[in-house]
Homo-oligomer: A and B are copies of this chain.
Amino acid sequence: MSHDFILLASGSPRRKQLFEQFLIPHQSVPARKKEPNRFSDETPSEFACRAALWKAHDVSLRYPDHSILGADTIVSIDDLILGKPSSCEEAAQMLQLLSGREHTVITGLALLNASRDPVIRFAETIVVFRNLLPAEIEWYSTCGDGLDKAGGYGIQSWGGAFVREIHGDWYNVVGLPIPLLIDMFTEFAPNFWPPQTN
Protein backbone atom coordinates (compact mmCIF):
# COMPACT_ATOMS: atom_id res chain seq x y z
CA MET A 1 0.00 0.00 0.00
CA SER A 2 1.45 3.30 -1.04
CA HIS A 3 -0.13 5.57 1.59
CA ASP A 4 -0.58 5.37 5.34
CA PHE A 5 -3.93 7.12 5.38
CA ILE A 6 -7.29 6.37 3.80
CA LEU A 7 -9.24 8.66 1.54
CA LEU A 8 -12.77 9.02 2.86
CA ALA A 9 -15.01 9.57 -0.18
CA SER A 10 -17.61 11.48 1.82
CA GLY A 11 -18.40 15.05 2.73
CA SER A 12 -20.23 13.99 5.91
CA PRO A 13 -18.87 15.78 8.98
CA ARG A 14 -20.16 12.87 11.08
CA ARG A 15 -18.10 10.26 9.23
CA LYS A 16 -15.02 12.47 9.48
CA GLN A 17 -15.65 12.90 13.22
CA LEU A 18 -15.90 9.11 13.64
CA PHE A 19 -12.61 8.56 11.79
CA GLU A 20 -11.10 11.02 14.25
CA GLN A 21 -12.75 9.40 17.29
CA PHE A 22 -11.34 5.99 16.32
CA LEU A 23 -7.91 7.44 15.40
CA ILE A 24 -7.96 6.22 11.79
CA PRO A 25 -5.59 8.26 9.60
CA HIS A 26 -7.61 9.78 6.77
CA GLN A 27 -8.32 12.66 4.46
CA SER A 28 -11.81 13.61 3.29
CA VAL A 29 -12.36 13.91 -0.45
CA PRO A 30 -16.08 14.19 -1.26
CA ALA A 31 -17.29 12.72 -4.54
CA ARG A 32 -18.18 15.27 -7.19
CA LYS A 33 -20.81 13.31 -9.05
CA LYS A 34 -24.49 13.51 -8.16
CA GLU A 35 -25.56 10.50 -6.09
CA PRO A 36 -27.28 7.71 -8.04
CA ASN A 37 -30.99 6.93 -7.94
CA ARG A 38 -32.34 3.55 -6.93
CA PHE A 39 -33.23 1.04 -9.65
CA SER A 40 -36.74 -0.34 -9.39
CA ASP A 41 -35.53 -3.94 -8.95
CA GLU A 42 -32.80 -3.09 -6.43
CA THR A 43 -33.06 -4.02 -2.75
CA PRO A 44 -32.20 -1.30 -0.20
CA SER A 45 -28.86 -2.97 0.65
CA GLU A 46 -27.95 -3.40 -3.03
CA PHE A 47 -28.64 0.29 -3.55
CA ALA A 48 -26.58 1.35 -0.51
CA CYS A 49 -23.63 -0.74 -1.73
CA ARG A 50 -23.85 0.60 -5.28
CA ALA A 51 -24.02 4.19 -4.00
CA ALA A 52 -20.95 3.59 -1.78
CA LEU A 53 -19.02 2.15 -4.72
CA TRP A 54 -20.15 5.04 -6.90
CA LYS A 55 -18.66 7.58 -4.47
CA ALA A 56 -15.41 5.65 -4.02
CA HIS A 57 -15.02 5.14 -7.76
CA ASP A 58 -15.53 8.83 -8.43
CA VAL A 59 -12.69 9.71 -6.04
CA SER A 60 -10.46 6.91 -7.40
CA LEU A 61 -10.42 8.57 -10.82
CA ARG A 62 -8.52 11.46 -9.22
CA TYR A 63 -6.47 9.37 -6.74
CA PRO A 64 -5.89 6.02 -8.48
CA ASP A 65 -3.09 4.77 -6.20
CA HIS A 66 -4.82 5.43 -2.84
CA SER A 67 -6.95 3.34 -0.50
CA ILE A 68 -10.43 4.83 -0.70
CA LEU A 69 -13.55 4.21 1.37
CA GLY A 70 -16.98 5.07 0.04
CA ALA A 71 -20.02 4.94 2.32
CA ASP A 72 -23.74 5.46 1.88
CA THR A 73 -26.36 5.32 4.63
CA ILE A 74 -30.07 4.90 3.96
CA VAL A 75 -33.22 4.47 6.03
CA SER A 76 -35.61 1.77 4.85
CA ILE A 77 -39.24 1.24 5.89
CA ASP A 78 -42.08 -0.52 4.02
CA ASP A 79 -39.70 -1.02 1.06
CA LEU A 80 -39.44 2.77 0.88
CA ILE A 81 -36.03 4.40 1.11
CA LEU A 82 -35.95 7.67 3.04
CA GLY A 83 -33.20 10.04 2.04
CA LYS A 84 -32.54 13.50 3.43
CA PRO A 85 -35.74 15.53 3.74
CA SER A 86 -36.00 18.41 1.31
CA SER A 87 -38.01 20.63 3.69
CA CYS A 88 -39.24 20.89 7.26
CA GLU A 89 -42.62 19.58 6.11
CA GLU A 90 -41.05 16.48 4.59
CA ALA A 91 -38.97 15.97 7.75
CA ALA A 92 -42.18 16.03 9.83
CA GLN A 93 -43.82 13.50 7.46
CA MET A 94 -40.82 11.17 7.79
CA LEU A 95 -40.88 11.33 11.60
CA GLN A 96 -44.63 10.67 11.60
CA LEU A 97 -44.04 7.61 9.39
CA LEU A 98 -41.30 6.31 11.71
CA SER A 99 -43.22 7.01 14.97
CA GLY A 100 -44.03 3.94 17.09
CA ARG A 101 -42.50 1.50 14.59
CA GLU A 102 -39.23 -0.11 13.60
CA HIS A 103 -37.19 0.70 10.52
CA THR A 104 -33.85 -0.44 9.15
CA VAL A 105 -30.72 1.66 8.70
CA ILE A 106 -28.30 0.30 6.12
CA THR A 107 -24.81 1.54 5.34
CA GLY A 108 -22.94 0.25 2.31
CA LEU A 109 -19.14 0.41 2.42
CA ALA A 110 -16.83 0.11 -0.59
CA LEU A 111 -13.06 -0.18 -0.09
CA LEU A 112 -10.98 0.45 -3.20
CA ASN A 113 -7.30 -0.12 -3.74
CA ALA A 114 -5.47 -0.35 -7.04
CA SER A 115 -3.92 -3.70 -6.15
CA ARG A 116 -7.11 -5.75 -5.74
CA ASP A 117 -10.81 -5.99 -6.55
CA PRO A 118 -13.17 -3.66 -4.67
CA VAL A 119 -14.41 -4.95 -1.32
CA ILE A 120 -18.11 -4.16 -0.81
CA ARG A 121 -20.09 -4.92 2.34
CA PHE A 122 -23.08 -3.55 4.21
CA ALA A 123 -24.38 -3.35 7.79
CA GLU A 124 -27.99 -3.30 8.93
CA THR A 125 -29.36 -1.99 12.22
CA ILE A 126 -32.97 -2.20 13.36
CA VAL A 127 -34.16 1.03 15.03
CA VAL A 128 -37.37 1.12 17.07
CA PHE A 129 -38.99 4.53 17.56
CA ARG A 130 -41.14 5.58 20.55
CA ASN A 131 -44.63 6.88 19.90
CA LEU A 132 -43.67 10.47 19.22
CA LEU A 133 -45.57 13.40 20.68
CA PRO A 134 -46.90 15.94 18.13
CA ALA A 135 -44.92 18.63 19.99
CA GLU A 136 -41.72 16.62 19.55
CA ILE A 137 -42.24 16.20 15.79
CA GLU A 138 -43.18 19.84 15.33
CA TRP A 139 -40.21 21.20 17.21
CA TYR A 140 -37.58 18.80 15.87
CA SER A 141 -38.63 19.03 12.24
CA THR A 142 -38.23 22.80 12.33
CA CYS A 143 -35.04 23.00 14.45
CA GLY A 144 -32.88 21.98 11.49
CA ASP A 145 -30.95 19.13 13.10
CA GLY A 146 -32.49 16.38 10.96
CA LEU A 147 -32.53 18.16 7.62
CA ASP A 148 -29.11 16.90 6.46
CA LYS A 149 -29.69 13.33 7.64
CA ALA A 150 -31.33 10.28 6.04
CA GLY A 151 -34.74 9.69 7.62
CA GLY A 152 -34.83 13.21 9.04
CA TYR A 153 -33.26 12.51 12.43
CA GLY A 154 -29.84 12.32 14.08
CA ILE A 155 -29.55 9.51 16.64
CA GLN A 156 -26.42 11.13 18.06
CA SER A 157 -28.11 14.48 18.74
CA TRP A 158 -31.57 15.43 20.02
CA GLY A 159 -33.15 12.92 17.62
CA GLY A 160 -31.81 10.18 19.88
CA ALA A 161 -34.82 10.94 22.10
CA PHE A 162 -37.05 9.29 19.46
CA VAL A 163 -35.33 5.90 19.75
CA ARG A 164 -36.72 3.26 22.13
CA GLU A 165 -34.09 0.63 21.26
CA ILE A 166 -31.82 -0.61 18.51
CA HIS A 167 -30.63 -4.03 17.40
CA GLY A 168 -27.21 -3.93 15.79
CA ASP A 169 -24.41 -1.37 15.55
CA TRP A 170 -25.25 2.13 16.78
CA TYR A 171 -22.44 3.80 14.80
CA ASN A 172 -24.02 2.42 11.62
CA VAL A 173 -27.05 4.61 12.39
CA VAL A 174 -24.74 7.62 12.81
CA GLY A 175 -23.37 6.85 9.33
CA LEU A 176 -20.33 4.56 9.62
CA PRO A 177 -20.53 0.92 10.82
CA ILE A 178 -17.37 0.72 12.93
CA PRO A 179 -17.24 -3.08 13.54
CA LEU A 180 -17.78 -3.78 9.83
CA LEU A 181 -15.10 -1.24 8.93
CA ILE A 182 -12.67 -2.87 11.39
CA ASP A 183 -13.41 -6.28 9.81
CA MET A 184 -12.69 -4.90 6.33
CA PHE A 185 -9.49 -3.16 7.45
CA THR A 186 -8.29 -6.27 9.30
CA GLU A 187 -8.84 -8.45 6.25
CA PHE A 188 -7.90 -6.15 3.39
CA ALA A 189 -5.95 -3.16 4.71
CA PRO A 190 -4.25 -4.34 7.92
CA ASN A 191 -2.07 -1.25 8.22
CA PHE A 192 -5.18 0.74 9.23
CA TRP A 193 -6.24 -1.34 12.27
CA PRO A 194 -5.48 -1.19 15.10
CA PRO A 195 -4.30 2.41 14.81
CA GLN A 196 -0.64 3.10 15.49
CA THR A 197 -0.98 4.87 18.78
CA ASN A 198 2.60 4.94 20.09
Contact = CB atoms under 8 A, between A and B. Distances in A.
Majority secondary structure of chain A interface residues (helix, strand, loop or mixed): mixed
Task: Output the residue of A130, A157, A163, A170 with the most chain B CB within 10 A.
Answer: A170
A6 to B, nearest CB: 15
A197 interface: yes
A39 interface: no
Interface string A183-198: 0000000000010010
Contacts of A4: none
| Total identical chains | 2
State which size class the interface on A falls in: 20 to 34
A134 to B, nearest CB: 10
B143 A197 contact: yes
A133 interface: yes
Contacts of A197: 139, 143
Contacts of A125: 165
A158 B178 CA distance: 11
Interface string A44-88: 000000000000000000000000000000000000000000000
Contacts of A182: 130, 161
Interface in A168-184: 168-171, 178-179, 182
15 contacts: A21-B157, A21-B158, A23-B158, A130-B179, A135-B194, A143-B197, A160-B170, A160-B178, A164-B169, A164-B179, A165-B169, A166-B168, A166-B169, A166-B170, A170-B170
Give 7 closest A-B pairs by Cβ, nearest first: A170-B170, A164-B179, A165-B168, A139-B197, A135-B194, A136-B194, A167-B167
